[in-house]
Structure formats: structure tokens, C-alpha cells
């Protein structure tokens, strides 16, 4: 499929997101410049990743551990974003995911505070998660972080840093169907939340985390998943939904690439079936009234993925919901992240501290 | 002067630089969108700064000190970049500088490691500098940081962080004619380096800094100044020149805005006189042979301000100079900063550690 204007618009949309987690603008430029056909996308990112791995290995040999860690992290991001339009070639996809996970694992070795990679036995199967703790004398409160339809737990290192700076520990989780958890065999379920009592159990059994009052934040489609998890787990006292949806009743109007993401996430290749199930089963109608803790719904007026009306819909069903809408903000407020991210981190710290 | 294509090209050139120190892309967009005439530039940035100050004050009142500090820092950058085309209106300029210095001072209160603002009595007059120390048990080696023609000591917080992470202390200095030092009355001198024995004395008299083996790095025109300082101060054992010039013999071919910067820096309003003095007096011909420590000259093939031939010219006169040229890099390697900045930080740490 040749690169057309719609897709270039998509890439420009992604640019802010990619840059906000550490992809250099010059790397995005090099992919865009060399992109003749959409099918080149994974390979172009893989080339960047391979080059960055060689750089990281070289830096490690020179004893430059901090520099090497940053290189490994960029390599992981390159491989990860190479997956973004790759739905129909599982062998290539699997190879990229392996490279991505290896790169991120290497990156984590050199990060401060450190990243502990854990597996959690849940009702849905084994979850993969990253745990980080701030340098505090008392056991810190913890925030659970949920990715969206195309993201995975490793993308949140920068946001984790904001929470860690504010004295909060973090657990970024690939839930059923997401990232490493799916890669290792645990697929999506519409009752995604059933996996999360295992995460709560992990917190409660830890001597190094405060067990009363857990926080939760979900990004993008994770902003839909978060209230479902909060409704099932009463230990969660503060939940942030960023750029999420209330339901998928507007399926027909979703951007084509998001539909492809969701079809891949749900593992439903049939267009009529996915439309029906997404419309029927993706909704906060039954969950929101069960959310006992505080809820903050953050959205943007210029979100082209999910309208900010989704945040209003949450407030309608749960009137205590705090709604913050960024004027001119894009999906997940990436172009307002200098204000939106600290705001959410402070909100969580204020509620859990 | 209406905004023409040349100036828009300049702004796009600045974009990477501004973003690399923490100016949100959306802020640059808002200035560019509203820029009808070049004379609007200072006011548009001032408006952003004032808005960000209000945000920072509000965050402080809410007890969000980390968030407030980041807001103050952005406000300082907004005011600072508002100065960039302002050469002919000293009252407005002075007002912006006051706002900038106040904002940065407030930002420094919330930074970790902390920023100590010091004044140093030098042969040229009182210098203003920012000192930061890493969390190490032993007194750390220190790196002196020099701004260029349009920059000032506060822009280097991000680079300081890279050095601090590697166990090095930092002293970012506004030399004669630069930033706060000029604002408080100490103007440029072509023998700029004569002010720097005072900085060395400060290091040698400190109990908290290692006094043997000092590092130095200069950015842009500071990459020209650094070898001059190193030649005068034998305590400096490792010097980095980033994106600097060997001399200004190519004055006539310099970009018009850089000429305006230098005329303002030198305080020589006459075009013929500045041309003559810049050509005669700005040269490393006499200094380079006197640099006893190691020298690293870093440059880029796509530098539109100073050609990378300047780095080669340094090596020609001082053959032990290490030269690193980034292919496709822009002025000061801003678009390669994910590699160039850690490389320079590691080089300094390796030489001083």
C-alpha cells in the first residue's frame, strides 16, 4: 500500500507521541523520508533499532553504562514503533517483539531507580509487569499503569519517572492481549479486569510497597480499561483515565488504523463480528457505578481518536468524576504533556500521599 | 520587518534547539502562528512566559513544587528566547532579562541536585554563575560550561544533568558580555579568558569540589572561547569545543542574524568596525598551541552557522585534537543530541574521573 496523505497525517500525529517518550525527531524524519510504501515501515524502524543496538553494545564495552542504557531504550522504542502497522505478518512481528523485549531488558539494567521485571499469575494467565520504587525510607504508595490498544508497559518510563520523583512506586502492566503478556501467550478478553486482582495481591504481599490505597492510570484505550479494573478492585482509591473512551458505540466512525489495532488486540479478524462485539461488550455502563474511589477523566478538544465527549459521558454516569479537558490538546494530550503529565502525577500523589 | 522565508527557516532551525532544552513544540507553534511581523517576536514569547509564571505560582500554592519548578523553568526559557531578535530596544530587553532571571531563580529552588547561584570577582568584573554538585561522597571533579553569542548559563540545565549523572559537578558561567553578567554591567572583551582565573580560584578554594583536573565545554561561539580559556588556565585538563569557530575570517559569509548577535555581544554598532575587529581579534591562532590539556572538537556536516572545517582547522594547529563530526548534524548537533551530548559527557567523565 503506497504512502498516501492520510497515512502521512497519521505519522505527523504519531510524531508528538514518539518524541514525548524519547524518539529523536531526526529518527522519525529518516523513516518518513525513506518510506515509499507502507510495508516498508517495520523494516525501516528495525534498521534504526539494529543500528542503535550496535551503538549500545559499543557504549557498554567502553564502560558508558548510562549512555548504553539510553541507547538500548531507544532501540526498544524503534522496534516497538515498527510494530505499529504490522498486523498481517506474525513471524516478522514476533521477531520484532523479541528484539524489542531484549533491548528494553538491557535498558532497564542501567536505569535509576531500577526496573524489576516480574510475572504475576492471574486468573487470565501470566501477566508481565515492570516494578519501580522511589528512594524513600517508608514503603511508598503505588500506581498501576495500563497501556492502550497499540502500546505496552515499556513506553511509560518517562511517566514513571514523574511518579517516582513524587514519591510513588509504579507497576506498568501488560494486561491480557497487550505487549509481552500477549507475546507470551495470554490473549485479550473483554473482561480484561479479571486479571488484575493478581496485581493487587502482588502489592499486598510486598513488604516494600504501601498496601492501603493503590492508584491506577490508563492511557488511551487503557483509559477505558482503568475504570473497569477499579470497579473490580476496591483497593484502588484513585483512578486516572487519559484519552479513553466510554464505549465503542461509534465504531463506524473510528479511524481505520485504530480499528485495525483493535481487531488485532481482540483477535477478531471478521469485520462484522468485531463491530458487533466491540459495540456490545466495550462499555463502561456497568462498571462506572462500581468505581468506589476517585476518578479523574483527562481529555483534549482536538483528540482525533476518541472525542472528549467520552470524558463527559463518564461524568454523566459517575457524577463525582473530575473532568479536565485540554483546549487544543491531541490524543492523550501528547502536545500538552508538559502540563497534562505533571497534573496527573500530582493528582495521584495528592490522593495517595 | 515582516516575517519572510529566511526568518521562518531560522525559526525552524531554532525549533530543534529550543525543544532540546525543554520548550514544548506547541509553544513554538503558537508563536509561529501568531507572528505577523518580526517585531512581534519578543512580545509573543513574553506572553507565553507571563502565562507560565501564573501557572507556576498556582502550582506552588497547591504544594506541587516539582511541577512549579518545571513551570518556572519553561517561563525562563520563554523570556530568554524572546530576546533572540531584540537588539535595538534596551528597555524592553532589560525588562525581559529581569523576568527571565527571576523565573530561573525560582525554578532552581525546586531542582535536584540543587543550583547554587554564585558571583565571582574576576579581573573583568563580577561574573554570575550556577554551581551544581552530584550526590557523591567524595568531592567530585568539575566541568565549567560556557554559553555562546546568544545563549546564557541557564540553558544548560539538561546538559548539567548528564554530567551530574556521571558524577561530575558543573559551573555554568556567564562570561564577560554574556547573559546575567552583561545585564549586571560587565561587557564583552576580546580577551574574554582573562575573567576565568577567578572561576579556577573558586574551584580551588572549595572544599566540596576536586581541585586537580578541571573540565571545560563551550557551546557554539563558546566553542571558540573554550580553547582561549583553556590556554590561559593550566588547571583545565580536558576541553570540549562544540560547534565552534577557529576564527571569524569568513565574517562576510556569516548568517545575518549571527552578525547581529555578535555586534550586540561585542557592543560594536558600526558594521565596518565590527568586521575589522572580528576578523583581526577573533582567532585561536595564538591560543591553541597553549592548550596543554586534551581537546575534543565536535561539529556537524550540516552546520549552517559555523562550518565543520573549523574543527579541522583546530586540529591542524593542535594535532592532538580529537575531532568528531556528526553526519547530517546541525549547528551544535542539536538534531543529533541523543548521541552527541552523552558522548561529550562521557568524554569529560573519562578524562576527569
pLDDT tens for each residue of B174-192: 999 999 999 999 999 999 9
Report the percent of chain A where pLDDT is more than 70. Answer: 99
Residues of B with a Cβ under 8 Å from any A Cβ are 16, 19, 22, 24-26, 55, 59, 62, 64, 66-67, 70, 74, 165-166, 328, 335-339, 342-343, 345-346
Q: A335 contacts in B (CB within 8 Å)?
A: 24-26
Q: A86 or A202: which carries more pLDDT confidence?
A: A202
Full DSSP string of A67-89: HHHHHHHHHHHHHHHHGGG--S-
Q: Do B338 and A66 make contact, defined as CB atoms within 8 angstroms?
A: no
**Average pLDDT value over all residues in chain A:** 95
> CA of B13 to nearest chain A CA: how many angstroms apart?
13
Q: pLDDT tens digits for B125-150?
A: 999 999 999 999 999 999 999 999 99
pLDDT value of residue A212: 85
The DSSP bridge pattern shows strands A169-174 and A142-146 to be parallel
Helix (H, G, I), strand (E, B) or coil at A283: strand
Listed in order, strand segments (DSSP E) in chain A are 116-122, 125-132, 142-146, 169-174, 214-219, 236-242, 294-300, 322-326
> How far is C-alpha A46 from the chain's CA centre?
21
The DSSP bridge pattern shows strands B169-174 and B142-146 to be parallel
Q: Do B342 and A19 make contact, defined as CB atoms within 8 angstroms?
A: no
pLDDT value of residue B55: 98
CA distance B148 to B222: 4
Q: Do B26 and A335 make contact, defined as CB atoms within 8 angstroms?
A: yes
> What's the mean pLDDT in A269-296?
97
Domains parsed from chain A with CATH numbers: 5-109 (1.20.1440.110), 116-247+283-352 (3.40.50.1820)
pLDDT value of residue B38: 85
**Residue of B55, B62, B342 lying closest to A67 (CB–CB):** B342
From the CB of residue B252, how many other CB atoms can be counted at a distance below 10 Å?
A: 9
pLDDT value of residue B177: 98
CA distance B251 to B248: 5
Which H or E run includes A18? helix A5-21
Q: Grade residue A231 by pLDDT with cuts at 50, 70 and 90.
A: very high
> What's the mean pLDDT in A258-286?
97
Q: pLDDT tens digits for B15-39?
A: 999 999 999 999 999 999 999 888 8
**Residue of A25, A66, A342 lying closest to B165 (CB–CB):** A66
Q: pLDDT tens digits for A292-337?
A: 899 999 999 999 999 999 999 999 999 999 999 999 999 999 999 9
Q: Grade residue A272 by pLDDT with cuts at 50, 70 and 90.
A: very high
pLDDT value of residue A265: 97
pLDDT value of residue B13: 83
Q: pLDDT tens digits for A26-80?
A: 999 999 999 988 889 999 999 999 999 999 999 999 999 999 999 999 999 999 9
**pLDDT above 80 for B2:** no
Supply angle C-alpha B337, B338, B343, rounded to 5.
80
Q: B74 contacts in A (CB within 8 Å)?
A: 338
CA distance A258 to A39: 17
**pLDDT above 70 for A167:** yes
> CA of A186 to nearest chain B CA: how many angstroms apart?
35
From the CB of residue A23, how many other CB atoms can be counted at a distance below 10 Å?
A: 22
Burial A281-303 (b: 16+ CB within 10 A, else e): ebbbeebbeebebbbbbbbbeeb
Q: A59 contacts in B (CB within 8 Å)?
A: 342, 346
**pLDDT above 90 for B1:** no
The DSSP bridge pattern shows strands A116-122 and A322-326 to be unpaired
Q: pLDDT tens digits for B301-332?
A: 999 999 999 999 999 999 999 999 999 999 99
> What's the mean pLDDT in A213-233?
98
Cell triple for B65: 513544587
**Residue of B25, B55, B346 lying closest to A64 (CB–CB):** B346
- Chain B interface, best mutation among A14, A18, A26, A164, by max B CB count within 10 A: A26
pLDDT value of residue A192: 98
Report the percent of chain B where pLDDT is more than 70. Answer: 99
B164: nearest CA partner in chain A: A66
> What's the mean pLDDT in A240-265?
95
> What's the mean pLDDT in A332-352?
97
> CA of A321 to nearest chain B CA: how many angstroms apart?
20
From the CB of residue A240, how many other CB atoms can be counted at a distance below 10 Å?
A: 31
**pLDDT above 70 for A162:** yes
**pLDDT above 80 for A3:** no
pLDDT value of residue A2: 67
pLDDT value of residue A173: 98
> What's the mean pLDDT in B249-267?
94
Residue with cell 567524595: B138
Instruction: Give the phi and the psi of residue B304 in degrees, each rounded to 5.
Output: -90, -5
Report the percent of chain A where pLDDT is more than 90. Answer: 91
> What's the mean pLDDT in B97-125?
97
Amino acid at each position: 500500500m503506497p504512502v498516501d496523505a492520510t497515512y502521512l497525517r497519521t505519522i505527523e500525529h504519531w510524531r508528538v507521541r514518539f518524541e514525548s517518550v524519547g524518539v529523536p525527531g531526526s529518527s522519525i524524519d529518516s523513516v518518513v523520508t525513506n518510506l515509499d510504501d507502507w510495508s516498508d515501515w517495520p523494516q525501516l524502524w528495525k534498521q534504526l533499532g539494529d543500528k542503535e543496538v550496535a551503538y549500545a553494545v559499543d557504549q557498554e564495552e567502553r564502560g558508558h553504562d548510562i549512555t548504553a542504557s539510553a541507547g538500548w531504550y531507544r532501540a526498544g522504542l524503534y522496534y516497538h514503533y515498527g510494530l505499529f502497522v504490522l498486523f498481517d505478518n506474525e513471524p516478522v512481528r514476533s521477531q520484532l517483539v523479541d528484539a524489542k523485549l531484549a533491548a528494553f531488558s538491557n535498558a532497564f539494567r542501567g536505569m535509576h531507580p531500577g526496573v524489576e521485571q516480574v510475572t504475576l499469575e492471574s486468573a487470565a494467565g501470566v501477566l508481565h509487569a515492570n516494578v519501580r520504587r522511589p528512594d524513600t525510607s517508608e514503603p511508598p504508595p503505588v500506581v498501576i499503569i495500563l497501556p492502550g490498544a497499540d502500546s505496552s508497559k515499556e513506553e511509560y518510563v518517562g511517566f514513571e519517572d514523574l511518579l517516582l520523583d513524587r514519591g510513588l512506586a509504579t507497576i506498568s502492566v501488560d494486561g491480557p492481549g497487550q505487549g509481552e503478556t500477549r507475546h507470551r501467550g495470554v490473549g485479550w478478553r473483554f473482561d480484561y479486569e479479571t486479571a488484575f486482582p493478581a496485581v493487587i495481591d502482588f502489592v499486598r504481599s510486598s513488604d516494600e510497597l504501601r498496601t492501603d490505597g493503590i492508584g491506577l492510570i490508563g492511557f488511551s484505550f487503557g483509559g477505558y480499561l482503568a475504570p473497569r479494573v477499579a470497579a473490580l478492585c476496591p483497593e484502588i482509591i484513585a483512578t486516572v483515565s487519559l484519552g479513553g473512551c466510554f464505549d465503542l458505540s461509534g465504531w463506524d466512525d473510528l479511524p481505520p488504523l485504530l480499528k485495525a489495532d483493535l481487531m488485532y488486540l481482540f483477535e477478531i479478524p471478521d469485520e462484522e463480528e468485531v463491530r458487533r462485539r466491540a459495540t456490545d461488550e466495550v462499555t463502561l455502563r456497568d462498571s462506572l457505578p462500581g468505581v468506589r474511589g476517585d476518578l479523574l477523566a483527562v481529555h483534549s478538544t482536538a483528540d482525533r481518536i476518541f472525542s472528549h465527549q467520552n470524558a463527559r459521558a463518564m461524568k454523566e454516569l459517575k457524577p463525582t468524576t473530575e473532568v479536565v479537558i485540554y483546549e487544543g490538546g491531541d490524543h492523550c494530550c501528547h502536545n500538552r504533556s508538559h502540563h497534562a503529565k505533571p497534573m496527573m502525577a500530582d493528582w495521584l500523589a495528592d490522593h495517595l500521599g
